[in-house]
Chains A and B, each alone.
Chain A
């Protein structure tokens, strides 16, 4: 029998407490952000770079979270694709991340801050070198 998830029931002291690790929320946020069209990737720092060098996939790269008992706040550092409209992509990321975290964890997302760190240009987007003949 499948028990319906009821956050209020789960937080009841009689049943014990549920704490969701920051890392878990970070991974959910990172994956939700990458689903949005226009997001090229997440922008990590030196520690994330070393983790990737060690061949460990870092699904929470470019994500900082604060998780409380019932609420969460997320900061995402992303690189967008050239040609996409930044405000539209950012709002879409905010909505997708909020939806993903709230549905998977039951936490209430109070804010999703987006930090656009750079723009990625695909090779096809490069203007052709000046040629004498075409």
Chain B
């Protein structure tokens, strides 16, 4: 469990402890927090009641989120070596693949999803291309470059690359080079 959620639960349990001690003190006829006078229906202590509502509602929301929070399993690629394991997170693979694709001439924007396959990695690439380009040639270049780059950098083969041209940018290419 994340440490922030642990802190929320610890704090909430302390609040519950204070409340339980308060009610116990009321049983004994004592009001050590001096608040019973304010806990009445009426105009007295309106601000106190409002603050109390906000505080406990906020606490409820935090506890609810902490309870519902499920840790998403981190996807990694695992290499076994003699000295141990090498685990590469999918986030790192995505960042590398995105950088490789964006460097290709003709790609203005790109988005990448990485999936694991029994035969290697599968990439889904969505791009915004610059205008006045041969799109099939660009797609072929992206596939080949990504395949070579990932194999070279990570050591894992690419089983499939799906490239989609989401949009063609309307900005013209440079007239001079």
What distance in Å separates the Cβ of A33 from its nearest Cβ neighbour in chain B? 13
Measured between beta carbons, the chain A residues less than 8 angstroms from B99 are 82, 119, 121, 125
What distance in Å separates the Cβ of B123 from its nearest Cβ neighbour in chain A? 16
In contact, A130 and B174 (Cβ under 8 angstroms): yes
A114 in contact with B86 given A47-B3, A82-B96, A86-B153 (CB within 8 Å): yes
Which residue of the partner chain, among B88, B174, B176, contacts A116 with CB atoms under 8 Å? B88
What distance in Å separates the Cβ of B129 from its nearest Cβ neighbour in chain A? 12
A117 in contact with B92 given A87-B79, A98-B83 (CB within 8 Å): yes
Q: Does B159 belong to the interface (CB within 8 Å)?
A: no
In contact, A87 and B155 (Cβ under 8 angstroms): yes
Q: Does A134 belong to the interface (CB within 8 Å)?
A: yes
In contact, A117 and B89 (Cβ under 8 angstroms): yes
Name A's interface SS: mixed
How many A residues, CB 8 Å from partner?
33
Interface residues of A in 53-95 (CB under 8 A from B): 74, 80, 82, 84-87, 90-91, 94-95
Q: B40-60 interface mask toward A, CB cutoff 8 Å, 1 = contact, 0 = none? A: 000000000000000000000
Q: B4-38 interface mask toward A, CB cutoff 8 Å, 1 = contact, 0 = none? A: 10000000000000000000000000000000000
Measured between beta carbons, the chain A residues less than 8 angstroms from B108 are 130
Complexed CA–CA distance, A116 and B91 (Å): 9
Which residue of the partner chain, among A82, A87, A121, A130, contacts B86 with CB atoms under 8 Å? A87
Measured between beta carbons, the chain A residues less than 8 angstroms from B154 are 86-87
A-B contact count (CB 8 A): 86
Show the binding face of B for A, using Cβ within 8 Å. 2-4, 76, 79, 81, 83-89, 91-92, 95-96, 99, 102-103, 108, 130, 152-155, 171, 174-177
User: Which single residue of chain A is at the shortest CB-CB distance from B79?
Assistant: A87
Name B's interface SS: mixed
Most buried by A among B86, B88, B103, B130: B86
Complexed CA–CA distance, A47 and B7 (Å): 12
Q: Does A39 belong to the interface (CB within 8 Å)?
A: no
Complexed CA–CA distance, A131 and B173 (Å): 9
Which residue of the partner chain, among B85, B91, B171, B177, contacts A114 with CB atoms under 8 Å? B85
Complexed CA–CA distance, A121 and B4 (Å): 29
In contact, B89 and A115 (Cβ under 8 angstroms): yes
